[in-house]
Structure 1
Amino acid sequence: MMRVGEIAARDQVSAPAVSQKVKRLVASHGLQVETDGRGRVTAVNVAHYDQLSGQYGDPSKAQAPKTRTTATGTLDDARTRQAYYSSELDRLKLAQQIGKVVLRDDLEYALEEAGDQVARAIDTLTGAADELAAAYEQGGQQALRIKLKDLVRQARELAADALDKMVAAAPETTPVETNEDQAPRA
């Protein structure tokens, strides 16, 4: 975990720019951060930050040549940070591969698609007014209830079948994209 100011110094950008990027990544992609009692970000998971920046960052802004800054701390500190960073990237990749992490974009798309499938199934009920009226005329309220239950069952089956097809067509996992070039500097 690194503070926003440390990430800004490492990437040679302003702290407010990193802060805004962190807020955006937290809101839209679930960046892992630590917050204080007032909800302010105190530390950022730098491996997750770099991974999301590589996936969703603006490449035109990443074109600035990076120069090495003077090292802070000892060589052991730098090695420890590098080992933590590498292990955190590996943890994120493994978590996604075994299904513990779902990309937010994938989840939002799947939920939207599922909602559309359920809405289509419900919309089939609006065309059943004539069937319901005929059932009522033939057998009163009891026949209407039976017909309505049958229509609801059909709509549920239609939605379930559509969702089953959607799940069957979906990939098991989405590979995690990492940018190994963005390892923290000593």
Structure 2
Amino acid sequence: MTGANGLGELMRDPEEAQRKLDQWAEGLENKAQRYAAAQERTEQLRLTASSSDGAVKVTVGADGGVTELEFGNKARTYPLEELSRQILATMRQAQSGIATRVAEVMQETLGDEDQETRSLMIGTLRSRFPELEEEEPPSSPSPPPPSSSADTPPSQAPREKRHEAPEDEGNSPW
């Protein structure tokens, strides 16, 4: 008589029970290896973007963190505000491909396994690093002539904004 949990047959044949447990354990081990390979490949991902005029080039990892920042000669001609804007825009451009690249790695490594887990993970990455909408790249403005700080009254001088970097929590897509 088979019990409600279907173990009755296995209870009569301990060798079959052991074989099924071994298959189950082997399946879990294979799955763990595939996930470890996906994680390793994901951690090695690097996405690079350059500003349209080549003034800024930014490379990011799968966690969105900047791994490289390079400036072309044109960057020297930009006012700091414009250079800052270009750095951030180029960084966002590089980050916008993270979810797609991680999804590709997971598809190659895991196939159709665990669709729900992958959908959740990729959805989280897409919310953190949305794809950029296609827009015409802004033409590079000619830098204004340099001004001395004496031209700006102290009460109107721009204030430096400082942002504390958050603790390194949850930066890994894993």
TM-score normalised by L of structure 2: 0.35
TM normalised by structure 1 equals 0.33
Structure with more helix by fraction: 1
Q: Which has the higher contact order (CA 8 A, sep 6+)?
A: 1
- The structure in which a higher percent of residues are strand is 2
